[in-house]
Amino acid sequence: MLSLGRYCIWVPSQPEKNIEQHIKDLRENIVFHNNLYYGDDTPQISDGEYDELYRELVALEEEYPEFITPDSPTQKVNTFLQSSFSPVEHLVPMLSLDNAFSDEDLRSWRDRVVKVLGSEEVDFVVEPKMDGLAISLVYEDGKLIRGATRGDGSTGEDVTENIKSISTIPHVLKDVPDLMEVRGEVYMPIRAFEALNDRQRENEAKVFANPRNAAAGSLRVKDSSITASRDLGFFAYQIGQLSDQSVISSHNQTLELFHRSGLPVNEKIINADSIDKAFEQCRHLESMRHSLPYEIDGVVIKVDDFALREKLGFTSRFPRWAIAYKFPPEEKTTLLHDIKVSVGRTGRATPFAVLEPVFVGGSTVSMATLHNEDEVARRNVRPGDTVIVRKAGDVIPEVVGPIESLRPKDSKAWKFPKKCPSCSKPLIRPEGEAQHRCWNVKCPARISTGIEYFASRGAMDIEGLGGKRILQFLDQGLISDVADIYSITKEQLLELEKTKDKSADNLISAIEKSKSQPLWRLLVAFGIRHVGPQAAKALSSNYEDIHAIANAKLEELENLEGLGDVIARSVKDFFALDSNDDLVKRLELAGVNVRGEKQESSRISNEFDSFTFVLTGTLPSYTREQIAEMIVARGGKVSSSISKNTSYLIAGDKAGSKLTKAEALDVEILDEEQFLKLIN
C-alpha cells in the first residue's frame, strides 16, 4: 500500500497496467482510512486529504471505466459496522450525498436538476453540513423505539440506549403520524469537545482528534452513562419513513413538523429561490463557521418540493435532489520536525513547531505556533510526530494535535529549554504566568524584534526595513537601538553585501519619510504595553508633544477617554525610565516628529453621545477615517472591536469576522447609505 496521501500524479504516457494498479492501490488506501475513520474513530489523515484521494479515484474511474469494480468506495456507502452492536435494517436506505468543491460544481449540479425537471423555477433549502455522525430515529405512536447509525446505508448499528441518553433527543413526540423515522446528526459542541479532551489527558486516556470523532466514539461505547456524560447535541434534518405522507409535501413542511413535535432543528437553515441565493448562504456560512458553537465542514443544498425530488430520483449512492458543498480544507497532516523557541521584543519566549511544508488554508505552512509550555503539554505533541495542522484564512497556523498511532516508538516528551536561544541567559516563568521570559534587555532577539516592530507598517512604516535587514545591521554594528536607524547613510548601506544603489536609495528615502509620521505612530512604535493605535491617538490628540505626555500626572492620564488606569500606568512607567527619556531626545534630535495633534473640539452635535460604532470593510463613497470623524463630531465613540456594548456596525464590502460577530451578538448593522440617513 502506498504511504499516506503520497500518490504520484498520473501521467498519460504510463502503461495501462500501471494505471490499473494505481487505481487498486488508491482503493485500498481509501478503504484503510475509511476503517480508521468510521470504525476506530482514529483518523490518520484530515478530511481534506481524504477528499483529495477520493476525487482522484473518481476521476480515474471516469477516465477508465473498465477498471471499476463493485467493491470500489465510489460504488457503495463508505461506513463501518461494529460487531459489538446488533445490526438494524433501515426502513429506507440512508444514502450519502454527492459533493461539490467549487461554484462550478454547484452550477453543474443545478444545471442537471433543471435539465431533468425542464424548468428553472426551483426552490432550494440550504442548511449547515454538520460535522458529526448521521443517525436514524424511529418513533412509533410518538415514542422513540430505536436509534441506529448509518452503517453501510442499508444496515446500521443499534445504539438505542446511547441515543436515549442524549438530552437533546426527545423520547416522546407530540402530534406526529403513527410511524415516523427521523434522520439527523449527532454532534459534539466545541466546548464539550475541549473539556472532554482535557479530562482524557488528565486520566491518561485516548485523546480525540476532532469533535466528529469524539461524537462517534461517544455514541459507540457500551455504557450509555458515558454517552450521557459527553454533552452531545442533535439536529434533525430529514424524514426517512412516514406512515402518513400526506401531512408534508416539502422539506420546509418537514422542518415545521419537527419544530411542532419537539425535535431540534438547526437555526441557520434558510430558503433560497435561486442557486445564486444558495451560493450567498454558502459564503455566509463559510465566513461564520468559526464563530459557531459546533463544527461544520460545508453546506447542504436540497430541492424543497417532494414531487420534484421524486422526478429527480437517485443514483446507486446519492439522491439527485441534494448536494453537499464542501468548504476548502483547513486541516492537513504533516511531519513535525522540531519544536523551537522564539524570543520577542518583550522577552516573551514562545515555542513553535517546525513542520514539513504543507499547503493548507490557502497557503504553504512550514511553522505553527504552540503558544506556551502548557499548550505543548496539553496538545501532547513531540518532535517526530505526524500532526494535524489547521489554518483558517488569515488566522495564524496552529498544530491541533498528534496522530498518536503514528508516533515513533523512541519518541520523548519535549521539555522547555532553560536558556534563551539568543543570548543563553535563563528563561524564567514567573509564578502564576503561562509564559517564559528572557529578562536580558540586551538580548539580541529582543533588540531585533523590537526594532522590527518599530519599523513595521502599523508603526513607523519604514518600507524595506525588515527582519533580515535589521539582523544584518546589528551584525555589522550599524545600529543598537531604534534611534540609530536615523543615522544610517547610503555609503554604509552600499558597503553591505547584496545591497544595490536603488535599494539603498529606497531605504534611505523610507527612513527619511518616517520622520514626519504623526506622533501616535511613534507612540505605537515604542511598544508601550497595552498602548495600541486608539490609545496612542487619544494621547497625541490631547497633548502638545511627547514631553507633555511624559510629564502628565497619572490621574490626568487615567481620566483621558480611551485610556483608563491600566494603560495610564503603563505610559507613566515607560517614560519614567531614563533610558527611554534618552531615546526620545535622540529621536527628536534626528528630526523625528514628536509634536501632538491637540486641537479645539470639532464637535457639531451630541446626537451620538451614548452610541458606540465599529467600522469594517470598504465603503463606497467615504473612507472609514472620514466616517469615524463624522461620528466623533456628533459625540459618538468609535471602537475597533465588536462587543455587546456596540450600538452599530457600519459594514462595507469584504466585511469579515466583525460582521459575523455582530450578527451573533444581534448588533444592528448599517451600510454607508443607512448611516448617512441616520446622521441626516
Active site residues: 129
Q: Which has the closest alpha carbon to 555: 572, 542, 576, 539?
A: 572
322 and 303 in contact (C-beta within 8 Å)?
Answer: yes
Report how far residue 125's alpha carbon sits from residue 324's, in angstroms, rounded to the nearest whole number.
12
Report how far residue 185's alpha carbon sits from residue 194's, in angstroms, rounded to the nearest whole number.
20
Q: How long a stretch of residues is the chain?
A: 680
Report how far residue 361's alpha carbon sits from residue 394's, in angstroms, rounded to the nearest whole number.
8
134 and 94 in contact (C-beta within 8 Å)?
Answer: yes
* The three three-digit cell numbers of residue 300, written as one number: 447542504
Which residues contact residue 360 at a Cβ distance below 8 angstroms, ignoring those fewer than 6 apart? 48, 329, 330, 331, 332, 389, 390, 391, 397
Q: Check the CA dihedral 5-9-15-19 and report its sign.
A: positive
Please tell me whether residue 392 adopts helix, strand or coil conformation: coil
Report how far residue 381's alpha carbon sits from residue 58's, in angstroms, rounded to the nearest whole number.
35
What is the H or E stretch that residue 473 is in? helix 467-475
Helix ranges restricted to H, 515-577? 519-525, 533-542, 546-551, 554-558, 565-576
* The three three-digit cell numbers of residue 127, written as one number: 442548511
Q: Check the CA dihedral 547-553-559-563 and report its sign.
A: positive
Q: Which three-class secondary structure string do you get for 307-345?
A: HHHHHHCECCCCECCEEEEECCCCEEEEEEEEEEEEECC
| DSSP secondary structure code for residue 9 in this structure | P
Report how far residue 12's alpha carbon sits from residue 28's, in angstroms, rounded to the nearest whole number.
22
* The three three-digit cell numbers of residue 97, written as one number: 450525498
Residue 233's CB is within 10 A of a number of other CB atoms, namely 21
Report how far residue 149's alpha carbon sits from residue 156's, in angstroms, rounded to the nearest whole number.
5
Q: Which has the closest alpha carbon to 264: 189, 181, 184, 188?
A: 184
Which residue is listed with cell 483547513? 330
